[in-house]
Chain A
Amino acid sequence: MSTEMTTRSVVLADAPARTARRSKRPPHGHSHLLRRESRGAWLLLSPYMIVLVIVGLIPIGYAVVTSMMRAPTPVDPTSGFGGFSSFVTVFTDYRFIQTFLNIFAVLIIWIPIMMIGIVGMSLLVHASPGRFGSTMRFLYYIPAALAGIANLMLWVYLLNPSQSPIQGFWNLLGLTSIKAVVASPGHLPFILTAMLFFQGTGTWIVIVNGGLNGISDEVLEAARLDGAGAWKLAWHVKIPLIRPWVGYAALMNVAYGFQLFLEPQLLDQVSSNAVADQWAPNQLAYAFAFSNFNFPAAAALSLVLLVITLAIGMVIVFRSGLFGDEEH
């Protein structure tokens, strides 16, 4: 990643995170204050913890129990304890590897484009002073407001050669029906990249821009005095300082990519069922539950996805530095 390669020499005194984590123990006499802070933290977190238990931990527990059951089949409609057989069913399913390959194909194309887009456009917005910059930030954000179905409807319109404003482009590729555009082998990762980029970039520009706004004027001024132009300022000062936000954006997008469901599912419908029903791992879990009526296998695959996304979450928290405490 480009941010890893940046020169760190100009990162000044208030550099975030990692180093700050090794802060000293507080003086002994502050233990009373600590207890109060701790109580306060629990109080503030309690509504969230309640929701977490209801929509997170209980379903996970339920999934763990379900995954240990044996699924009824047309041969044997009884069920009972099945040990790890559901996990075996999942790992040996003929679609399991393909669904992950499909996701990797999307991630390999989408994530680099997404990150260059986010960082590049954030820097442009930040470098544009006054009303112009804030107007651009707002304009970039508009597509993000077209979430979910609205975004899909827009894309159905764009992807359909018979009505699309980019009809010429599709004709140039020899594509005359939405089925050919969506379902031709190899097209889907590019279409999903376009959809996800369009839908997601605006939100992340706002977030990364928040990081850029946090850079103190003294730092930028010092760099300018050292002779840094706009390009050097962006490359050697701004990007290293927003590294935690960029890392956070990258990993959250990877996590989102692993959970793709809505987009391939709906593209399947607009192309008259010509996309594989089990294109992404989440769709495979859905198929286990509702095509095969194999809820234990669906639960097992959900747990596999949970482990992957939790691992990504851990990396975000412990490696990006965004959640590190800072000493002022």
Chain B
Amino acid sequence: MKTSTQHMARWVRAAGVVAVSASMIALAACSSGGGTGTTDASTQTDSGGKITVWVDPPRVPAAEAFKKAHPEIPIAINQIDGTVGNDQLKQQFAQFNQAGKGWPDAIFFPTNDSIAWAAGPQIHYTADLGKLLPDVVKGYATNSIEPCNIDGKIQCLRNDIAPDVFWYNKPFFEKNHYAVPTTWEDYADLAVRIKKEHPEMTSGFLGDAYAPDRYLWAANCATNDKINDTTVHININEPDCLRMKTLLTKVVDAKAVSTLGIFDADAAAVGKNIAMTPGAPWYGDYLFKQTWKIPAATMTATPALAWKGDSKPSAGDEGGGLWGVSSHIKGKELENTLTFATFVASDPAWQVELSTGLPAYGPVQDAWIAKQKQVDYFADPDATFSAMKGAIENVLPDHPYMLYITGGIWTQEAVPALVSGQGVDAAWAAFGKELTAKATSLGYTVKDSQ
């Protein structure tokens, strides 16, 4: 038999409070993160040679090719999540800045928008490659290196260029005597007609993070219209945007385009039956051939679509990844990292032999095209490569990468409305609202937000 007292009872209860609350405290406090310090970029380190590079899955062969070409340079290859539109990298870099260490020496950013925060004053990760690798930078055409030009410094190197062209299924078109559209309006009309005549065929995808680049950027829609470092113009209800909204409403209502994304696991089955779509050069090898396994001599490309009445095509740009180099390193570590950056940006061993995208680095473009022609995958190789080569000229300007990820907001807000059948109106409203709210929450002043 045990004797209890009020004193002990109080004590037991207090211990109970502590015990019950402990896990909650730990969890709640954990998410509070670190303090507010920023890292002084002047404290650079030198590992003595060994470099660490972070790459997404499609870029692992680039790092492996470097390892083979430069056995003298010790390298650790870390494969990171390649989901376009996710912002896990931000979290890791915020933590490295808190800790003052841990940054990779070089990185391939899976999301191009990442360059906005990586080069920004709070994270301050990227080195000025205009100074460090001037000869490599000279190899790029001005508009292909433009996304890396931030505050007058070249803060990344473009891996490939991804201006949209127009892809179509040549044998399908020929068999059914369809004319290849050259305008956005014709594309929408034909998509609806194809759906009626061939219900199994699809004429585009709307559910991935590149969809706003594919469609809204091509309409000159004000999603990323940067006025200055702290002010942005966002209005997806201006006439330029609304012409694309009308077009998308038409094709979505007719179920002529898929609400899945091109990277969805379920997309391969739909993708096999693609009739046509705007898309980047890397669609050809990476998406059509390797991922969706569309037979050879099926797909071919023509120049991007124009708006009726315009003399020139209007296209967006779907990725065309960016390599960054750490500003936190010096000495042998920096030297080896620059060797790596030079290799992945310009060396034919990667850019010609292995890369699936059209190299952004000018001097290797013809060799890449020659190599791709040998593979003989496309239905009309000459037309395809000619369309790819000139495509960068069709990308509309004034669309820099921002701290908010437009594609991520699209997948979160517009896609649920589309997959659940609520239509383009609901998707548009949800997307516009979140775009403005997210930009504001990140500290931008949003001008003219509808």
Decide: A289 and B91 in contact? CB cutoff 8 A: yes
Q: Is A314 an interface residue (CB 8 A)?
A: yes
CB-based contact A295/B33 at 8 Å: yes
* Chain B positions 300-335 with a Cβ under 8 Å from a chain A Cβ: none
Distance A88 CA – B30 CA, assembled complex (angstroms): 21
Contact B442 A290 (CB under 8 A): no
B21 contacts across to A, CB distance below 8 A: 309-310, 313-314
Question: Which chain A positions have C-beta within 8 A of B86?
Answer: 269, 273
Residues of B within 8 A of A261 (CB): 31
Q: How far is the CA of A275 from the CA of B13 in the complex (A)?
A: 41
In the complex formed, the residue of B with least CB distance to A62 is B32
Interface string of B117-153 (1 = CB under 8 A from A): 1001111000000000000000000000000000000
A274 within 8 A of B: yes
A323 pairs with B13, CB closer than 8 A: yes
Which residues of A have CB within 8 Å of B90? Answer: 290-291, 293
Q: How many residues of B contact A (CB 8 A)?
A: 78
- CB contacts under 8 Å to A, within B258-301, are 260-261, 263-266, 269
B176 located at the interface, meaning its Cβ lies under 8 Å from any Cβ of chain A in the complex: no
A21 within 8 A of B: yes
- Check B25–A274 contact: CB distance below 8 A: no
> Please, which residues of chain A bring their CB within 8 A of the CB of B179?
none
Counting CB contacts under 8 A, is A73 at the interface? yes
Which residues of chain A are within 8 angstroms of B441 by Cβ–Cβ distance? 93-95, 292
Assess whether B8 is in contact with A72, with CB atoms less than 8 Å apart.
no
Contacts of B1 in A (CB 8 A): 328
**B1-38 near A? 1/0 per residue, CB < 8 Å:** 11111111101110111111110111111111111111
Given A94-B441, A269-B83, A302-B32; A185-B416 close (CB under 8 Å) = yes
* Alpha-carbon distance between A69 and B441 when the two chains are bound, in angstroms: 17
CB distance from B94 to the nearest CB of A (A): 5
A71 within 8 A of B: yes
Name the A residues within 8 Å of B32 (CB-CB).
Answer: 59, 62-63, 66-67, 285, 289, 295, 298-299, 302-303
- State the CA gap A34–B416 with chains docked (Å): 63
Minimal beta-carbon separation of B117 from chain A (angstroms): 8
Q: 8 Å CB contacts to A: which residues of B396-445?
A: 403, 408, 411-413, 415-417, 419-420, 422, 437, 440-444
Interface centre among A25, A180, A275, A324 (most CB of B within 10 A): A180
Interface check A2, CB cutoff 8 A: no
Q: Are B35 and A66 in contact (CB under 8 A)?
A: yes
In the complex, the answer to whether A313 meets B36 with C-beta atoms within 8 Å is no
CB distance from B166 to the nearest CB of A (A): 24
Chain B's closest residue to A284 (CB) is B31
Q: Which of A25, A71, A313 has the most CB of B within 10 A?
A: A313
User: Do B9 and A324 touch (CB < 8 A)?
Assistant: yes
Q: How far is B440's CA from A186's CA once the two chains are assembled, in angstroms?
A: 27
Interface-side segment among A4-12, A37-45, A120-128: A37-45
Residues of A close to B197: CB separation below 8 A: none
Q: What string of 1s and 0s marks CB contacts (under 8 Å) between A54-71 and chain B? A: 011101101101110111
Known contacts being A45-B15, A310-B24, is A184 close to B36, with CB within 8 Å? no
Partner of A255, one of B5, B13, B24, B266: B24
Bound Cα distance A60, B98 (Å): 18
Indicate whether A215 reaches chain B with its CB closer than 8 angstroms. Answer: no
Q: How far is the CA of A327 from the CA of B11 in the complex (A)?
A: 16
- Whether A183 contacts B416 by the Cβ 8 Å rule is yes
B94 touches A293 (CB 8 A): yes
Which residues from chain A contact B2 at a C-beta distance below 8 Å? Answer: 328
- With both chains docked as a complex, state the minimum distance between the C-beta of B86 and any C-beta of chain A, in angstroms: 6
Min distance, Cβ A70 to any Cβ of chain B, angstroms: 8
Instruction: Specify which of B3, B38, B209, B265 is in contact with A30 (CB 8 Å cutoff).
Output: B3
CA distance A49 to B436 in the complex (A): 47
A4 to B94, CA, bound (A): 49
| Contact (A274, B411) CB under 8 Å given A23-B6, A180-B420, A295-B36 | yes
Closest to A259 in B: B27
> Does B30 contact A293, Cβ atoms closer than 8 Å?
no
> Given A56-B29, A72-B122, A74-B229, do A318 and B443 touch, yes or no (CB 8 Å)?
no
- Which residues of B have CB within 8 Å of A290? 33, 87, 90-91, 94-95
Most buried by B among A25, A45, A274, A305: A274
State whether A259 and B87 are in contact (beta carbons under 8 Å apart), knowing that A52-B18, A323-B16, A327-B4 are contacts in the complex.
no
> Does B160 reach chain A (CB closer than 8 Å)?
no
- Find the A residue at minimum CB distance from B81: A269
Min CB distance A92 to B, Å, is 10
Cβ contact of B264, chosen from A37, A57, A272, A301, cutoff 8 A? A272
Task: Evaluate contact between B5 and A26: CB separation under 8 angstroms.
Answer: yes
- In the complex, whether A162 has a CB less than 8 A from a CB of chain B is yes
Does any Cβ of B come within 8 Å of A99's Cβ?
no
Query: Which residue of chain A is the closest to B411 with respect to CB atoms?
Result: A273
Given contacts A94-B437, A272-B207, A290-B90, contact A295 B264 (CB under 8 A): no
Residues of chain A within 8 A of B22, CB atoms compared: 48, 52, 56
Given the known interface contacts A38-B7, A286-B91, the answer about A313 and B31 at a Cβ–Cβ threshold of 8 Å is no
Known contacts A74-B121, A74-B230: A289-B13 contact under CB 8 Å: no
Determine the distance from Cα of A75 to Cα of B420 in the docked complex, in whole angstroms. Answer: 39
**Does A178 sit within 8 A of B, measured CB to CB?**
yes
In the bound complex, CA of A281 to CA of B137 (Å): 44
Report yes or no: B420 in contact with A69, Cβ–Cβ below 8 A.
no
**Cβ–Cβ contact A298 & B442, under 8 A:** no
A302 near B31 with CB under 8 A, answer yes
**B208 contacts the other chain (CB 8 A):** yes
Of B7, B9, B261, the contact of A272 (CB 8 Å cutoff): B261
A37 touches B8 (CB 8 A): yes
Which residue of chain B has its CB nearest to the CB of A282? B31
One digit per residue, 1 when the CB lies within 8 angstroms of any chain B CB and 0 when it does not, for chain A 77-112 equals 101000000000000011100000000000000000
A14 CB–B CB distance under 8 Å: no
User: Which residues of A sit under 8 angstroms from B443, Cβ to Cβ?
Assistant: 73-75, 292
Q: Is B212 an interface residue (CB 8 A)?
A: no
Q: How distant is the Cα of A226 from the Cα of B413 in the complex, in angstroms?
A: 62
- Assess whether A242 is interfacial by the CB under 8 Å rule: no
B163 within 8 A of A: no
Report chain A residues within 8 Å CB of B7: 34, 38
Q: Are A272 and B17 in contact (CB under 8 A)?
A: no
Q: Which residue of B lies closest to A314 (CB)?
A: B17
A-B contact pairs, 15 of them (CB 8 A): A23-B5, A41-B15, A48-B19, A72-B38, A74-B230, A77-B121, A274-B416, A277-B408, A293-B117, A295-B98, A298-B31, A309-B21, A317-B16, A324-B13, A325-B12
* 10 tightest Cβ-Cβ pairs between the two chains A and B: A323-B16, A290-B91, A59-B29, A309-B24, A184-B420, A73-B443, A63-B32, A289-B33, A313-B21, A302-B32
Residues on A close to B: CB < 8 A? 21, 23, 25-26, 30, 34, 37-38, 41, 45, 48, 52, 55-57, 59-60, 62-63, 65-67, 69-75, 77, 79, 93-95, 160, 162, 176-180, 183-185, 252, 255, 259, 261, 269, 272-277, 282, 285-286, 289-293, 295-296, 298-299, 301-303, 305-306, 309-310, 312-314, 316-318, 322-328
